[in-house]
């Protein structure tokens, strides 16, 4: 991928990824030449679009070892999370079910903001929600989930890999627990899909959210996996007005975007090992150069059970304002993208035990497929300069 000489070094891959040029090339014909509506079943333009959507559905399903018919296309993980959480709870709340119990949902204090906001909304409808704490690494223990289960627990929703600190939750164990108690299990896998091996059956996952722009695909498209058997999961649709996506998500399909999502995941699965090796090498180069410089620098998240591309660093002796000045020329995150306009300290960092001051003195560096060794070396030098200026590093 070509980069302009004046562009900053991009290290915010957990917020969004550039669209892979190979993905863009595959998408292009579906904007102009192959512009048909996938629902048009009476002519070749529609057939061509429908075939492309079917192929993309297969690629998405293959990436999580699912059945293609269990994949529903959406505008992204936020919509997928809404569909999953509201769809399950509305089904129980519907008077026709005859249920006299309000549904209970178990989640954690470090879920993506959209999950928290959806659950907060559902609480206004009488849904009971338990927000479980996490340990210093950001992991929610299976035991705490087990202890939170009630007779009316209908759903467990736990993030697969945290967007801020990169920690990966014990998904296999949580899935097994949910199956033992006949509770549906949803996971937001926006950060994990395409990076981590996922098998919805062996992991006991019933609902899984995906976003294309986290895996070198286009923005504005994603998918929701909804288990179709063993057990069959039935969601109440949030929208009405068409038969697309089996009526669960009606509306004209975004064919170019869907093609891009499918292509992005096909590429991700093909070169997953190559990407992992490349990114891990760069991550270790940076950490090995920076962490030994001062005991005031701390890596947040689990030391090993973490996304290979996420580096969350707290500099306890650095004032937040220094980052923007001394790390100019680097595009990084000093907060999660979903709340980057807020001056409030990250609730995720506070949940793992950081004070407001330490949370504000934390940066997230997100590496990716197109990050180069030269870029990482430049970042290392800038970080060393930051520490030297603050006079907290003893060696360079």
Catalytic residues: 338
Q: How far apart are CA 69 and CA 137, in angstroms?
A: 36
Angle of helix 255-270 versus helix 44-63 axis, rounded to 10: 40
Closest listed residue to residue 48, CA positions, set 69, 68, 32, 72? 32
**Residue 314 half-sphere exposure toward CB, CA atoms < 13 A:** 22
- For residues 362 and 307, the answer to whether their CB atoms sit within 8 Å is no
Task: Give 315's strand partners.
Answer: 297
Token reading at 368: 């990716």
Q: Which two tokens stand for residue 307?
A: 């996304």
User: Does residue 296 have a cis peptide bond before it, meaning omega lies within 30 degrees of 0?
Assistant: no
Residue 103: which of 127, 131, 130, 132 has the closest Cα?
A: 127
Q: Which strands make up the sheet holding 184-188, listed edge to edge?
A: 71-74, 222-226, 207-211, 184-188, 153-157, 104-108, 128-132
Q: What are 225's strand-pairing partners?
A: 71, 208
Residue pair 339/113 in contact by the 8 Å Cβ criterion? yes
CA distance linking residue 180 with residue 79, whole number of Å? 28
Ordered alpha helix ranges (H), the chain: 21-27, 44-63, 77-93, 113-123, 142-148, 171-180, 255-270, 272-290, 320-326, 347-351, 356-360, 373-390
Give the three-class secondary structure for 12.
strand
Which region, left, alpha or beta, applies to residue 251 given φ > 0 means left and ψ of -120 to 50 means alpha?
A: left
């Amino acid at each position: 991928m070509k980069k302009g000489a004046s562009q900053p070094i991009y290290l915010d891959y957990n917020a969004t990824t550039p669209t892979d040029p190979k993905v863009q090339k595959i998408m292009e014909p579906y904007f102009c030449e192959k512009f048909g509506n996938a629902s048009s079943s009476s002519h070749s333009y529609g057939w061509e679009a429908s075939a492309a959507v079917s192929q993309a559905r297969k690629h998405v399903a293959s990436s999580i070892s699912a059945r293609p018919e269990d994949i529903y296309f959406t505008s992204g993980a936020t919509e997928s999370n809404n569909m999953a959480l509201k769809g399950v709870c509305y089904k129980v709340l519907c008077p026709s079910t005859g249920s006299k119990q309000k549904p209970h949902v178990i989640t954690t204090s470090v879920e993506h903001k959209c999950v928290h906001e959806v659950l907060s909304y559902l609480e206004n409808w009488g849904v009971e929600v338990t927000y479980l704490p996490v340990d210093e690494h950001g992991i929610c223990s299976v035991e705490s989930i087990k202890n939170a289960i009630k007779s009316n627990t209908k759903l467990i929703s736990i993030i697969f890999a945290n967007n801020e600190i990169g920690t990966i939750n014990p998904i296999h164990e949580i899935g097994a627990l949910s199956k033992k108690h006949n509770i549906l299990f949803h996971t937001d896998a926006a950060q994990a899909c395409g990076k981590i091996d996922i098998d919805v059956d062996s992991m006991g996952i019933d609902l899984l959210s995906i976003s294309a722009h986290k895996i070198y695909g286009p923005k504005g498209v994603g998918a929701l996996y909804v288990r179709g058997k063993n057990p069959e999961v039935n969601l109440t649709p949030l929208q009405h007005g068409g038969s697309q996506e089996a009526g669960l998500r009606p509306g004209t399909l975004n064919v170019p975007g869907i093609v891009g999502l499918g292509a992005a995941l096909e590429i991700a699965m093909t070169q997953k090992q190559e990407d992992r090796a490349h990114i891990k090498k760069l991550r270790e180069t940076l950490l090995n150069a920076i962490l030994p410089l001062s005991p005031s620098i701390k890596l947040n998240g689990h030391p090993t059970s973490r996304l290979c591309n996420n580096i969350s660093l707290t500099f306890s002796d650095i004032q937040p304002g220094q980052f923007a000045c001394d790390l100019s020329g680097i595009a990084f995150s000093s907060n999660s993208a979903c709340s980057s306009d807020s001056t409030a300290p990250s609730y995720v960092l506070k949940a793992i035990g950081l004070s407001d001051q330490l949370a504000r003195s934390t940066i997230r560096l997100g590496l990716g497929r197109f990050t180069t060794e030269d870029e990482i070396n430049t970042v290392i030098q800038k970080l060393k300069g930051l520490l030297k200026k603050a006079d907290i590093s003893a060696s360079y």
